[in-house]
Amino acid sequence: MPASYKIYAKSLHDHFKVFYANWPPGENIKLGDYGILNGDVFIPEGNITEQFNLQFNRRDDPTKDNYNFKSTDSVSITFLPKGSYTQTGMPSVKASLKIDFSNTASVFFNAAGIKHSLIEGMDKLGKTILGMFETQKWPASRFVVTRLVQADSATIIISGKSGASMTLDAESDAIPNINLADASIKLAVSVDSGIEFNIVCAEGYYPLFGLSGIKAKHWYLPGSANNWQPKLMTVYKNMDYIKTEIANKKTTYDEFYFGDIE
C-alpha cells in the first residue's frame, strides 16, 4: 500500500482538482516556487524570482471560505454539543467532535478562514517560460506555484489503521457547539486511537496550492492535424511526439501553452 501521505496528497488533488496538497502541511510554500511532481506530491526546487529573475504581481482575494474533505464512506463525524450524554452516561463538559475511520490511511481535512492568492499577468509569465522552454532552459516536467490557499485554521487527520478514531474537544467550555467553519474555535485532542498523523487547528498554514506548467494544446490523431475528431476518439499528442514533429519541421512550439495543471 502507498504511504499515507501519498494517499493524502492524491485524495485532496482528486477532490479539489486544480489544487494540490502541501506536504508537509506546514511547508513554507510561496507563489513562484517551482519544482517537479512525484505522483501528486510537489517537490520544490527554488523560486523563479530568485533563480531566474522572473517578476510578477500578486493578487490577494479578501473573501474567506471553508474547505472540508473526508474520504468517502470511510470517515464518519459525530458532533457532540456541550451537555450531551457520553457513553459513560455523564453529560459532556465541553462540546466535542468524534471522527471515526473505517479504513487505513483515510483522510479528514478541514481548512477554515481560507484566503486565496494568485499570480497576476499569467500571459506575460507564460510567454517568458515558453521562450525558456523553446531554448531548452525550462524542462516540461517543471511546474510553478501560481495559486496559494492560506488557512486561518487547518486540521488534518490521517488514520493508521481500520477502526481508528479521534475525539477533539472545544478548548473553552463556553462553546456550546463546534462549527468547523469557525476558524476562531480552538480544539484539543482528548482521544487518539490508531491515528498515524494529525495537525489540529494549525494557524497560518498553506494547505493547498495550484500549479501551472507547459501543456500541449490539442487533441487529434497524430499525423492527421486537419482531421479533427471527438475527444474520446483521439490520441493525445504528448510532449515527446510534438518535440519530434518540431525537430522534423512538421510543427512549431505554438503547439504548447502555459496553463493550470490538473
Distance from chain centroid for Cα 74: 20
Inside any domain, residue 257: no
CB 112 within 8 A of CB 152: yes
Buried b / exposed e across 57-66, counting CB within 10 Å, b at 16+? eeeeeeeeeb
pLDDT in tens, 179-191: 999 999 999 999 9
Cell of 23: 506536504
Inside any domain, residue 154: yes
For residue 45, give its domain range.
4-216
Q: How do 33-38 and 96-101 pair as beta strands?
A: unpaired
Inside any domain, residue 247: no
94-108: average pLDDT? 94
> For residue 89, what pLDDT is reported?
58
In the chain, the number of structural domains is 1
The pTM score is 0.86
pLDDT in tens, 106-153: 999 999 999 999 999 899 999 999 999 889 899 989 999 999 999 999
Inside any domain, residue 227: no
Half-sphere exposure of 211 (CA within 13 A, CB side): 27
Inside any domain, residue 182: yes
Share the mean pLDDT of the chain: 87
Inside any domain, residue 259: no
> For residue 253, what pLDDT is reported?
64
Q: ∠ at Cα 22 (60, 203), nearest 5°?
A: 65
pLDDT at 232 over 50: no
pLDDT in tens, 10-61: 999 999 999 999 999 999 999 999 999 999 999 999 999 999 999 999 999 9
Comparing C-alpha atoms, which of 262, 202, 212 is closest to residue 27?
202
**What is the DSSP code string of 80-101?**
E-TT-B-TTSSBPSS-EEEEEE
